[in-house]
Amino acid sequence: MALCSPVSLFSLLCTVLLFSASSSAKHDSVSFSFPLRSLPISAGKPLKTNPKLRSLSSASYNVKLPFKYSMALVVSLPIGTPPQHQQMVLDTGSQLSWIQCRNKTPPTVSFDPSLSSSFYVIPCTHPLCKPRVPDFTLPTTCDQNRLCHYSYFYADGTYAEGNLVREKLTFSPSQTTPPLTLGCATESRDAGGILGMNLGRLSFPSQAKITKFSYCVPTRVSGSGNLPTGSFYLGNNPNSARFRYVSMLTFSQSQRMPNLDPLAYTVPMQGIRIGGKRLNINPSVFRPDAGGSGQTMIDSGSEFTFLVDEAYDRVREEVVRVVGPRIKKGYVYGGVADMCFDGSARESIGRLIGDVVLEFEKGVEIVVPKERVLADVGGGVHCVGIGRSERLGAASNIIGNIHQQNLWVEFDLANHRIGFGEADCSRS
């Protein structure tokens, strides 16, 4: 969520917390079910510290988890010993993972450190509290208890701050992660936490030594009382034989370009087709220039897709050409998306616009069928799920989760590539 949706993803988490996650066993992988529980919150108990902070050797992960999907991909993860299930947004656009450690009553389910035997707070004297690389929005500091305090801010204005801690995930008695550095948030604007999945040294894949992960985002159903369930794999995916891969563009952190995020999953996008017509967009628009502008990234933590001005203008011109008179005049959703229509015309508008195709190298494509070109944004309004990056104060192209529906997206870190595979994600 380096760059988030036009409406905060976390505004939905209070609703999401009311759902339980379930998963069916697959013969090709170990499968776990993680129902949501309310946990008692203990107050006034001191937090434990351990100056040694020893790490365990990592295991080979082969875990499948369900997640609930609305605007965000919300997975329930087993944190601590014994595990307490915490709701976390799966976010390939950010680094630090954090959980809620606030003293609050349900529906906010906070983590209670006093109930976990593997929980440790990082003291100010530890090297992690003085990182050489700026892993946090603001530098870490010492709080009044000489514990390491962090502050993490996101582009949409959400934030979390608290203490840095070490804790592990316990998938089963035989499958646990080593102790991971997490944020234990005591102040935030949100009900849930974040699972940071980017390429940073403090991200969940980096710390847990995970070399491959994938997810499948189901389609959203307008007006449905239940949120659809998708799938999230840590380790090998039994469906990967039919995936098509593109190489990731990687950058050294020494390449300090003001508009570049070197920790993002950057892909070699080459063009856009709408209704079978290839738009007149120079492919260089989708690649970082000397200042880093134009980077194209895969971000599960962003709802909409965002394009830099040159690309967005060509998309809007084509939409106006085919359905211009029907555009809702003067309406801008979330301050970023201005290709919107009254809901009564949704099906006919989709047919007129046609499929939207994002083109990559080697003939790899993400196809958004005409039935899903428009997103329901509430109030009887539907918008093309594309916003203008400039209105976010960004200079990047971001492929959001709305354009990853019914698609396996695999992050093969060992081979520096990203795979795509069409699927019915409600059944995967």
- String of DSSP letters for 330-398: T--BTTTB--EEEGGGHHHHHHHH--EEEEEGGG-EEEE-GGGSEEEEETTEEEESEEEGGGGT--SEE
This prediction has a pTM of 0.85
As a whole number of angstroms, the distance between CA 35 and CA 422 comes to: 28
Instruction: Find the catalytic residue in 91, 112, 190, 412.
Output: 91
Residue 52 lies in a domain: no
Q: So what's the pLDDT on residue 108?
A: 57
Tens digit of pLDDT for each residue in 91-114? 999 999 999 997 655 545 789 999
Q: Same domain for 205 and 242? A: no
Q: Could you tell me the residue range of the domain that residue 96 belongs to?
A: 60-209
Instruction: Give the CA angle between residues 228, 230, 235 to the nearest 5°.
Output: 170
The whole-angstrom separation of Cα 216 and Cα 406 is: 6
Q: According to the model, what pLDDT value does residue 320 have?
A: 96
Residue-level pLDDT at 169: 95
The answer on pLDDT for 54 being more than 80 is no
Q: Can you give the pLDDT at residue 174? A: 84
Q: Is 103 inside any structural domain?
A: yes
Whether residue 240 is found in the same domain as residue 373? yes
Residue 112 counted as domain residue: yes
Question: Is there a catalytic annotation at residue 299?
Answer: yes
In 3D space, the residue among 76, 33, 54, 62 whose CA is nearest the CA of residue 175 turns out to be 62
Averaged pLDDT for residues 34-51: 33
Q: Does residue 158 sit in the same domain as residue 287? A: no
What CA–CA distance (Å, rounded) separates 122 from 126?
A: 7
Give the model's pLDDT for residue 257: 87
Instruction: For residue 274, give the nearest of 319, 307, 304, 305 by alpha carbon.
Output: 319
- Whether 309 sits among the annotated catalytic residues: the reply is no
Average pLDDT score, the chain: 83
Q: Are residues 163 and 118 in the same domain?
A: yes
Question: Are residues 205 and 240 both part of a single domain?
Answer: no
- Specify the range with the lowest mean pLDDT, choosing from 39-48, 140-149, 368-377: 39-48
How many domains are there within the chain?
Answer: 2
pLDDT tens, residue by residue, 267-287: 999 999 999 999 999 999 999
Cα separation, 184 vs 62, in Å, equals 26
Among 158-172, 355-369, 398-412, the minimum mean pLDDT is found in 158-172
**329 and 182 together in one domain:** no
CATH number of the domain residue 170 falls in: 2.40.70.10
User: Do 204 and 247 sit in the same domain of this protein?
Assistant: no
Neighbouring C-alpha atoms within 13 Å toward the C-beta of 382: 17
Which of 41-77 are b and which e, b meaning 16 or more Cβ less than 10 Å from the residue's Cβ? beeeeeeebeeebeeeeeeebbbbbbbbbbbbbbbbb
Q: Are 158 and 4 in contact (CB under 8 A)?
A: yes
The answer to whether residue 274 sits within a structural domain is yes
Give pLDDT, residue 422: 97
pLDDT value at position 2? 45
Q: How far apart are CA 39 and CA 168, in angstroms?
A: 18
Burial 101-124 (b: 16+ CB within 10 A, else e): bbeeeeebbbbbbebbebbbbbbb
* Residue 401 tokens, joined: 């989760």
Residue 321 backbone dihedrals phi, psi, to 5 degrees:
-60, -40
217 falls within a domain? no
Least confident of 119-128, 218-227, 325-334: 218-227
User: Do 337 and 381 contact (CB within 8 A), yes or no?
Assistant: no
Classify residue 183: in a domain, yes or no.
Answer: yes
pLDDT computed for residue 415 by the predictor: 97
| Judgement on whether residues 303 and 167 belong to the same structural domain of the protein | no
Omega of the bond prior to 228 within 30 degrees of 0, cis?
Answer: no
Instruction: Report the pLDDT averaged over residues 282-294.
Output: 95
Q: What is the end-to-end Cα distance of the chain in Å, rounded?
A: 25
- Cβ neighbours of residue 365 under 8 Å, at least 6 residues apart? 357, 358, 359
According to the model, what pLDDT value does residue 139 have? 79
280 and 193, same structural domain? Answer: no
Mean pLDDT of 332-346: 88
Residue 208 has pLDDT above 80, yes or no: yes
For residues 392 and 384, which has the higher predicted lDDT (pLDDT)? 384
At residue 1 the predicted structure's pLDDT band, cuts being 50, 70 and 90, is: low
Query: What's the confidence (pLDDT) of residue 53?
Result: 36
- The arithmetic mean of pLDDT across residues 181-209, rounded, is 91
Domain shared by 390 and 244, yes or no: yes
DSSP state of 146: S
**What digits encode the pLDDT tens for the residues 56-76?**
333 467 899 999 987 899 999
Q: Inform me whether the pLDDT recorded for 251 exceeds 90.
A: no
Q: What pLDDT, on the 0 to 100 scale, is given for residue 344? A: 73
**Which pLDDT score is estimated for 39?**
27
How long, in residues, is the chain? 428
Query: pLDDT by residue (tens digit) across 14-41?
Result: 333 333 333 333 333 333 333 222 222 2
**Same-domain pairing of 285 and 392:** yes
Predicted confidence at residue 223, as pLDDT, reads: 58
Same domain? 145 vs 247: no
Residue 46 lies in a domain: no
Q: Are the beta carbons of 206 and 197 closer than 8 angstroms?
A: no
Which pLDDT score is estimated for 224?
57
pLDDT reading at 228 higher than 50? yes
Dmax over CA atoms of the chain, in Å, equals 66
Amino acid symbol at 153: F
- Domain presence at residue 222: no
Exactly one of 135, 156, 190, 299 is catalytic; which is it?
A: 299
The model's pLDDT over 402-416, given as tens digits with 9 standing for 90+, comes to 999 999 999 999 999
CA angle 403, 315, 341 (to 5 degrees): 75
DSSP secondary structure letter of residue 14? H
